[in-house]
Amino acid sequence: MPPTTNFARAARPIFSSASAAAQTRAAFSRSSAFRQQQQLYRRQQWSRRWQSTTADAQPSWFKRMWDSPIGIKTVHFWAPVMKWALVLAGVSDFARPAEKLSLTQNAALTATGFIWTRWCLIIKPKNYLLAAVNFFLGIVGIIQVSRILIHNSSQKGVEGAVAEAKAEAKADVKQVKEAVKSS
């Protein structure tokens, strides 16, 4: 053995063990620890089974929705889906003039929306999809009811102004007729 090797062994006896030497070589070699871990991970990936038959395997999203108590095959799913049509009809009524909207119908939709929103959060299983559609139904109802009430209050003021204008016009017509007769 060359004398430098003996000197290193005498100065640092820890390097004499095979495992320490392997660790040292691995630390100072070209491939870093990160690369080694990455290679180990890839080897583990290749050996995995991707389709498991064990009981703890998680089923697909569709299977979970199908078997859920509020899933696709239940009324708890389809009722809110169909009820969105009421919300969309209310939103489309935003373009209609307020005098053509029904106060009783929109008040009923508002009450229905908020009562059933609360109910959906009490029942078991909690149906958040139905609660959401009922909440938006109540919001649309509030907007429509407020539009109707604003329109009705403005119409009362307009009717009074029109009656006053008619009375003034009649008085002016009488004055003009009297002025024509006297001249």
Written as one string, the DSSP assignment of 121-164 is HHSSS--HHHHHHHHHHHHHHHHHHHHHHHHHHHHHHHHHHHHH
Q: Domain extents for the chain?
A: 3-45, 70-182
Residue percentage of the chain with pLDDT more than 70: 71
Higher pLDDT, 107 or 182: 107
Mean pLDDT across 19-29: 63
Model confidence pLDDT, tens digit, residues 38-72: 777 676 665 555 555 555 678 788 888 788 777 78
Mean pLDDT across 114-135: 91
Q: For residue 138, what pLDDT band results from cuts at 50, 70 and 90?
A: very high
Higher pLDDT, 23 or 167: 167
Whether the model pTM is above 0.75: no
